Homo-oligomer: A and B are copies of this chain.
C-alpha cells in the first residue's frame, strides 16, 4: 500500500437503544478503551421516519455530535435492511418469497426482495436523506450500505418481482428464446420456450430443474444484489467523499462478493469465530478442541478473501479491508453458544491485524436486554458494566499504538482461487451429496496454512494471477479461454483438480471433455467421474486417499502419472507447469500435494504444529497458538526480535516478532 493505514479499534453502537442521558458516558468509555471508530444507524429506519415522510433525525444528529465531541469517527449505515412496518404495508409484494413459495414476512429483518423496483425507490429516498444530511459531517469516516446482504438466505427470492426481473434479464442476455434454448439444452425433456415470458423461476419443479436454468437464476440474483448496492453507492458519492463499505458475512456465497466490491472502497466482514465452528464438517474431537476459539483457518480464510474484495475497485495498491463486527463473547444464533476461552478474543484481533485489517470493530457496544439479540454479548453488560471485551479493547489499542502498527500485507507468492460461480455450480450439481466447493477450497487452504504459507485468496482474473509463483484452483467450474491464457502467461506453477474446468459458461460439459481450456496447460482428458459415500474412500498409499470424489484420467503426450490407487488408477498427473489431482484429497493428501506444488514452485514451507499458525504484516510475523497446550516455538523464531509475547506460547496466545 502507498499510505498504509494505522490499525485501530472500533465498535458498533445503537444510541437509539439507550437513554440520551447515557450517550456522553458511552462516548467517554469508548475513548478510554482506545476505540476510534463507531458504526451507527443501520437498523434505525423506524426511529428516523416513524411515519411516512415524517423524518426525525434529531436524535441521530445528537449522536453524531456527542461522538464528534469526543473525537470519535462515525461509520454510518444506511437503514435499508429493516424497512418499517408502514412501508411494508404500503407495498406488501416487496417481501421476498422463499423456494417453497412462502412469503417471508415482517417481524425480524431483511424482509425485502432485491428485485422489487418500488422498494428500491424507497431505499434511494432514505439513502439520499442520509447522504445529504451526513455526507460532509466532520465526524463521518465511512459509509456502510445496508447490512449483511444475503443474511438469512435472502438473496434468492421467488417473488413476482423476481420473475419479471429474471425474464427481462434473460431477454437481455440471450436476445432470442432459441439462443437460450440452445444454451440451456432445453431440447432435453421438451423444456423449450417460445418466449421469455414462458420461463418460470426454477423452484417447485417436479424434479430437479435444468442446471443451466438455475445457474442463470443464481447469476440474476447476484446481479440484483450488486445493482441494489450500486443504487446506494451512486447516491452517496454524489454527496460525500467518505469511503463506502459493506459488511459481508462468513461462509456466505449466494452473491458474487467481488462484483459487489467493484462499487465499494472498503471490504468489511463480520467475524464470529465460535459461531462458525459448528458449521464446518470436522469431527467432534476437532470441534471440542477449538470450541472456545474457533477453527484455526476459517476466519483467516475470510480475512484473505475480503482483503481480495478490498482490492477489486482500486486495485491491490489501495486495497482496504476491515472486520466490521468482531465477536467479543458468546453469541445467540449458533446451535450452541460457548464462551470464548481465555485469550481467544485477543487472538482473534491479532489474526485480523496480521492479515492487514485496518480496523477491528466489535459487535456491539452494550448488550441489549431486549429483542432477538439479547443473549449476544457485547463490550458492556446489559446493566452497563464492563464485560471481558471492553478490557481486551483497552489492552489491544494500547499495544497497537506502542507498535505503531499499520495495515501492510505483501502480495503473496501463493494464490488460491475462490470463485462464486463455482460455488453455485456445485450447489446446483454436487453429483455426490457431500460435495462442496468452498469445503474443497478449504482443504487446500488448510494445507497451505499448515505449511506456514501466507496465501492470497483471489478471483479468477488476469490481474490476480500475475506475478504469482503458485496458483491453486481446485474445482473451478468454468475456466474461460482468457483465464487459461492468463494462467499460461503467468509463469506460475498451477495446481488444479478435481472438477476444474469441467463446464462451459452455459453449464454444459466442455467440448472434448474436461478439463477444457486447462488442456492448454496440461494435456489430459477426464473420461469418467465418480462420487462415493463416506464409508468408501479411494485409498492411495499410506494414509493418503480421495474422499467422495475421484476422476478417471487419460494422460496424453507430455504428462506423467503417479501414485496409483489400490484399485489401480493413477491419481496425480503432472507436466513441467502444472499438477492435476484426480480426486478430493483427505487432509494427508492435501498436505502431500500442496507440499509437492510448493516445492515445484520454489516456495519455502515449514510444517507447523497442528495448533500453530503464522501470518505476516508490516514486517512483523505473528504466531498463533489455537490449541489447549503451551507450545514452544523458539525454533521458528530463532533470534528474531520479539514485538510481544513469548517464544513459548500459552494456550490461545499470540507472539509477534520482527521479520
A504 to B532, CA, bound (A): 45
Does A16 contact B187, Cβ atoms closer than 8 Å? yes
Given the known interface contacts A194-B51, A200-B105, A288-B535, the answer about A370 and B206 at a Cβ–Cβ threshold of 8 Å is: no
Contacts of A108 in B (CB 8 A): 189, 191, 205-210
Given A101-B102, A206-B104, A371-B212, do A339 and B188 touch, yes or no (CB 8 Å)?
no
Asked if A373 is at the interface (CB within 8 A of a chain B CB), the reply is yes
Smallest CB–CB gap between A623 and chain B, Å? 24
Distance in angstroms between the alpha carbons of A47 and B187 in the assembled complex: 7
**A496 → chain B closest CB, angstroms:** 19
A341 nearest CB across to chain B (Å):
8
Given the known interface contacts A47-B192, A530-B330, A533-B278, the answer about A368 and B185 at a Cβ–Cβ threshold of 8 Å is: yes
A111 contacts B205, C-beta separation under 8 Å: yes
- Do the beta carbons of B531 and A338 come within 8 Å of each other? yes
Whether A110 contacts B212 in the complex (CB less than 8 A), given A508-B369, A512-B383, comes out as no
A543 CB-CB contact with B under 8 Å: no
With A335-B433, A528-B330 in contact, do A371 and B194 touch (Cβ < 8 Å)? no
Residue of B nearest to A429 (CB): B375
Contact B338 A192 (CB under 8 A): no
**Which residue of B is nearest A95, CB measured?**
B206
Q: Establish whether residues B198 and A85, one from each chain, have CB atoms under 8 Å apart when the complex forms.
A: yes
Cross-chain contact B211 with A372 (CB below 8 angstroms): yes
- Whether the pair A371, B210 counts as a contact (CB closer than 8 A) is yes
CB < 8 Å: which of B85, B187, B335 contacts A194? B85
Which chain A residues in 175-223 approach chain B with CB under 8 Å?
Answer: 184-194, 198, 200, 202-213
Residues in B neighbouring A535, C-beta threshold 8 A: 284, 287-288
Could you tell me the distance between the alpha carbons of A90 and B100 in the complex, rounded to whole angstroms? Answer: 23
Q: Is the interface of A mostly helix, strand, loop or mixed?
A: loop
Q: Cβ of A374 and Cβ of B103 under 8 Å apart?
A: no
Known: A43-B190, A190-B47. A205 touches B104 (CB 8 A): yes
Residue in chain B with minimal CB distance to A527: B381
Number of copies of this protein chain within its complex:
3
Determine whether the beta carbon of A103 is less than 8 Å from that of B204. Answer: yes
Residue-wise interface mask of A (251-275) relative to B, using a CB-CB cutoff of 8 A (1 in contact, 0 not): 0000000000000000000000000
Tell me if A194 and B50 are in contact (CB < 8 A): yes
Count residues of chain A with CB under 8 A from any CB of chain B.
109
Q: How far is the CA of A531 from the CA of B377 in the complex (A)?
A: 13
Is A245 in the interface zone, CB < 8 Å from B? no
Cβ–Cβ < 8 Å partners of A191 in chain B: 46, 82, 85, 106-108, 371
Q: How far is the CA of A198 from the CA of B105 in the complex (A)?
A: 12
* Cβ-defined contact, A102 with B204, below 8 A: yes
Which of A85, A370, A381 is the most central at the interface, judged by chain B CB atoms within 10 Å of its CB? A370
On chain B, the residues within 8 Å of A480 by CB distance are: none
A109 at the interface (CB under 8 A from B): yes
A32 in contact (CB, < 8 A): no
Whether A431 is near chain B, meaning CB under 8 Å from some CB there, is yes
Per-residue CB contact flags for chain A residues 35-65 toward chain B (1 = under 8 Å, else 0) read: 0000000011111001100000000000000
A100 to chain B: which residues have CB within 8 Å?
A: 102
B513 touches A382 (CB 8 A): yes
Whole-angstrom CA separation of A31 from B374 in the bound complex: 60
Say if the beta carbon of A641 comes within 8 Å of chain B.
no
Residues of B within 8 A of A432 (CB): 335-337
The verdict on A583 contacting chain B, using a C-beta distance below 8 Å, is no
Tell whether, in the assembled complex, residue B110 and residue A533 are in contact, meaning their CB atoms are under 8 Å apart: no
A104-148 contacts to B, CB under 8 A, are 104-111
In the complex, chain B residues whose CB is within 8 Å of the CB of A77: none
Interface residues of A in 267-313 (CB under 8 A from B): 278, 284, 287-288, 291
A185 to B14, CA, bound (A): 13
Out of B17, B200, B330, B429, which one reaches A107, CB within 8 Å? B200
Complex Cα gap A338–B211 (Å): 21
Contact A513 B383 (CB under 8 A): yes
Shortest CB–CB separation between residue A388 and chain B, in angstroms?
A: 8
Indicate whether A506 reaches chain B with its CB closer than 8 angstroms: yes
A550, B292: Cα distance in complex, Å: 13
Interchain nearest-CB distance for A281 vs B (Å) = 15
Query: Which residues of the other chain, B, contact A372 by a CB distance below 8 angstroms?
Result: 188-189, 207-211
In the complex, whether A511 has a CB less than 8 A from a CB of chain B is yes
Q: How far is the CA of A111 from the CA of B110 in the complex (A)?
A: 34
Do A96 and B512 contact each other (CB < 8 Å), given the known contacts A184-B371, A338-B536, A371-B184?
no
Give CA–CA (A107, B217) in the complex, Å. Answer: 13
C-alpha spacing A510/B374, complex, angstroms: 11
Would A205 and B105 be within 8 Å (CB), given that A189-B371, A192-B47, A371-B211 are in contact? yes
Interface flag for A10 (CB, 8 Å): no
Complex: how many Å from CA A613 to CA B583? 34
CB of A529 within 8 Å of the partner chain: yes
For residue A86, CB closer than 8 A to chain B, the reply is yes
> Which residue, of A104, A151, A337, A371, has the highest number of chain B Cβ atoms within 10 A?
A371
Partner of A206, one of B110, B209, B288: B110
Q: Return the contact of A374 from the options B101, B200, B371, B509 (Cβ within 8 A).
A: B509
A387→B529 CA distance, assembly (Å)? 12
A431, B431: Cα distance in complex, Å = 35
Q: Tell me the complex Cα distance, A50–B186, Å.
A: 12
Specify which chain B residues have a CB less than 8 angstroms from the CB of A515 in the assembled complex: none
Min distance, Cβ A529 to any Cβ of chain B, angstroms: 7
A337-B432, A338-B531 are known contacts; what are 14 more A-B pairs with Cβ within 8 Å? Answer: A82-B189, A85-B198, A104-B205, A104-B206, A106-B200, A107-B206, A110-B207, A185-B370, A329-B528, A338-B532, A338-B533, A369-B508, A370-B509, A383-B511
15 contacts between A and B (CB under 8 A): A17-B187, A46-B186, A47-B187, A96-B206, A104-B205, A105-B200, A106-B191, A107-B206, A185-B368, A185-B370, A211-B371, A336-B548, A337-B432, A339-B528, A387-B527
